[in-house]
Each structure stands twice: as structure tokens, then as C-alpha cells.
């Protein structure tokens, strides 16, 4: 096997592979990129990828893996691990033992529960996690991410009913909890460090009926805030007071009926705002006058029958 020792990239996508046995690639020590996507793999043996000290990208997406057993990824230090669009419903507490992963994609699976036992081996390495489009309602235990520091955490369309798991994060730059309609009363009871570090928040499609100063204070450093596709019928302009750094605001696909005179009083830094697909029929003369840095405004698909006057 020595002629293959210098290979850095192997592509096995769409090859109808069904399983990967232990040490199958142990002779490919220079391997950096390995792609098994779109196969029929339903089993990963313990230490299936042992002997690959240089592997950085491992793609196992679009397969039939149902469970992640102990030591599946032992010995690996990965920049990217893709496990999206499998049939994963169970993760052993030792799945990631002796492994390091920077970006992990678990979208489109059937995971029932994520706990601290599952994830704690990745506390020092994991920076980007996405667990979206989960087929079954997903429970994320409150201790799942204690001490984690995320650049991006994305848990969309997964039937979440609570978000206590964000409270013990050390940091999160981008938080996406969208399309979980049972989170209507969401409260982010996290510390100041998290509030100051979060620059992007997506809370679209969570059944939110009210946006108040308490929630805004927990998001006070966001530059981009998505509140689209909720059930907001009216807005209290003072709720936006804590959002001094806000640049991008999405309020589309709600049930807003009017923009009151002081609507934009605390939105002077906003450059992009989407108010489309509401039921707005009245825009007070001074409603938009506070948007002094505005570059993009969408009021389409509303019920406005008179010209909007910008002063």
C-alpha cells in the first residue's frame, strides 16, 4: 500500500458503499479529505477512521447511518464533519471520545435527545454546530453545551420546546432558533457575556406574539435580528432601545397593522429593514423619519393605499 501513502484526497461519493470497517484507511496517513456522501452506509465501526492523523474533512452526509456508536471518530482532528441527511436517532456518550471537530453538521436526522454526555468531548474544539430539520421533536438537555464557545449555533425546524441549553454557553456569535413554532414565549435568561457577544439572532417562525425590552436586552449587541414569520400584531418602539448596534431588522410575514409615529425612534442605526407581507394599512407621517442610515426598505405586500412620506 505504500504507493498510496501520499494521497491527500479520496472521493467515494455515489459508490453504493454500505459499511466502513475498522482501520479501512490506516495506510493513507496523508489523507486530508474523505468524501463518502450519497452512499448506503448504515454502519460505522469503532475506530473506522483510525490511522488518519492529517484528515481534516470527512463527509458522510446522505447515507443511512442510524446510530453513532462509541469511538466512531477516535483519533481524528477534523475541521469539518458532515453527518447531515442520515437516519441518526441515537448518539452514544462516547461517540466523540478522543476526537476533535470544529464544524459539525447533523441536519436532517432523527435525533431524539442531545445531552452533555454526548457533546462534552467536543467542548474545546467545536465552534460551529447545526442540528436542523430534525424529523422528530428534539430535546436538547440544559447541560448539553455547558462551557461551549460557538461562532454559530443553528437549531432550526426541530420541534424545540425550550432553550435553556443556551444559558450555560461561554459565547455564541450567531444564534439561529428559527422555525420552532412552540418557542413563542422564548426568554433568553443568559449572562451579560453572551448578550455582548451575540451579533446575529434568528427568531423567525417561533410563534412569537410580543417583542419586549426584556428579550431585546438579552440581544443587545446583535447587528442582525430576524423576527419574521411570527405573530406580532403591534410593536412597542421602546422595546428596540437596547439594540444600539442593530443594522439589519426583519419583521416580514407578521400581522402588523400600522407603523405608529415613533416606530423608528430607536432604530437610527438600522440600514436594512423588511416589513413586507404584513397587514400594514397606515404609516404615520414620522414613522420612518428616525431611519437616518437606511439603505434598503421593503414594504411590499401590505395594505398601504397612500404614499409613504419620508422626512
pLDDT in tens, 104-158: 999 999 999 999 999 999 999 999 999 999 998 999 999 999 999 999 999 999 9
User: Residue 307: its pLDDT value, please?
Assistant: 55
**What dotted CATH number matches 1-105?**
3.80.10.10
Residue 22 gets which letter from DSSP? T
Q: How far apart are CA 82 and CA 123, in angstroms?
A: 18
Is there a shared CATH topology between the 1-105 domain and the 202-216+225-240+249-311 domain?
yes
In Å, how far from its chain's centre is CA 54?
Answer: 28
pLDDT in tens, 155-196: 999 999 999 999 999 999 999 999 999 998 888 888 888 899
What average pLDDT does range 204-221 have in this prediction?
94
The values of phi and psi at residue 235, to 5°, are -125, 140
> pLDDT exceeding 90 applies to what percent of the chain?
82
User: Residue 4: its pLDDT value, please?
Assistant: 56
188 CB burial (10 A radius; 0-12, 13-18, 19+): buried
Q: How far apart are CA 240 and CA 64, in angstroms?
A: 46
Local structure of 121: helix, strand or coil: helix
Grid cell 431588522 in the structure block, residue: 249
CATH number of 202-216+225-240+249-311: 3.80.10.10, 3.20.20.70, 3.40.50.920, 3.30.390.50?
A: 3.80.10.10
Rounded to the nearest 10 degrees, how much is the dihedral formed by the CA atoms of 68, 72, 73, 75? 150
Residue 256 near residue 235, CB atoms below 8 Å = yes
Q: How far apart are CA 235 and CA 212, in angstroms?
A: 8
Buried b (16+ CB within 10 A) or exposed e, 147-180: ebebeebbbbbbebebbebbebbeebbbbbbbbb
Q: How far apart are CA 294 and CA 259, in angstroms?
A: 16
What average pLDDT does range 279-288 have in this prediction?
94
Q: Which of 156, 165, 237 is nearest to 194 (CA)?
A: 165
What average pLDDT does range 74-93 have in this prediction?
96
Domain ranges across the chain: 1-105, 202-216+225-240+249-311
Q: All 3 cell numbers of residue 275?
A: 416589513
Q: Is the pLDDT of residue 13 over 90?
A: no
Q: Is the pLDDT of residue 93 over 60?
A: yes
Q: How far apart are CA 202 and CA 228, in angstroms?
A: 9
Amino acid at each position: 500500500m505504500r504507493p498510496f501513502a501520499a494521497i491527500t484526497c479520496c472521493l467515494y461519493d455515489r459508490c453504493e458503499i454500505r459499511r466502513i470497517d475498522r482501520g479501512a484507511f490506516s495506510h493513507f496517513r496523508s489523507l486530508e479529505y474523505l468524501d463518502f456522501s450519497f452512499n448506503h452506509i448504515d454502519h460505522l465501526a469503532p475506530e473506522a477512521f483510525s490511522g488518519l492523523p492529517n484528515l481534516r474533512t470527512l463527509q458522510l452526509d446522505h447515507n443511512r447511518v442510524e446510530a453513532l456508536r462509541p469511538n466512531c471518530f477516535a483519533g481524528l482532528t477534523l475541521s469539518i464533519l458532515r453527518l447531515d441527511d442520515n437516519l441518526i436517532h441515537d448518539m452514544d456518550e462516547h461517540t466523540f471520545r478522543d476526537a476533535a471537530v470544529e464544524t459539525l453538521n447533523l441536519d436532517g436526522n432523527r435525533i431524539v435527545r442531545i445531552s452533555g454526555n454526548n457533546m462534552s468531548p467536543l467542548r474545546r474544539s467545536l465552534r460551529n454546530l447545526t442540528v436542523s430539520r430534525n424529523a422528530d421533536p428534539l430535546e436538547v438537555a440544559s447541560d448539553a453545551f455547558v462551557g461551549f464557545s460557538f461562532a454559530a449555533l443553528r437549531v432550526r425546524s426541530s420541534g424545540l420546546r425550550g432553550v435553556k441549553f443556551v444559558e450555560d454557553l461561554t459565547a455564541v456569535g450567531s444564534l439561529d432558533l428559527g422555525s420552532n413554532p412552540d418557542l413563542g414565549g422564548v426568554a433568553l435568561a443568559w449572562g451579560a457575556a453572551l448578550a455582548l457577544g451575540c451579533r446575529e439572532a434568528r427568531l423567525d417562525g417561533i410563534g412569537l406574539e410580543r417583542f419586549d425590552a426584556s428579550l431585546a436586552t438579552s440581544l443587545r449587541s446583535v447587528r442582525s435580528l430576524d423576527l419574521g414569520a411570527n405573530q406580532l400584531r403591534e410593536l412597542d418602539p421602546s422595546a428596540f432601545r437596547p439594540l444600539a448596534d442593530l443594522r439589519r431588522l426583519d419583521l416580514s410575514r407578521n400581522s402588523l397593522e400600522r407603523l405608529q409615529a415613533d416606530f423608528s425612534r430607536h432604530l437610527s442605526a438600522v440600514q436594512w429593514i423588511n416589513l413586507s407581507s404584513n397587514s400594514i394599512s397606515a404609516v404615520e407621517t414620522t414613522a420612518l423619519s428616525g431611519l437616518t442610515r437606511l439603505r434598503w426598505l421593503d414594504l411590499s405586500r401590505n395594505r398601504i393605499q397612500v404614499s409613504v412620506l419620508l422626512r
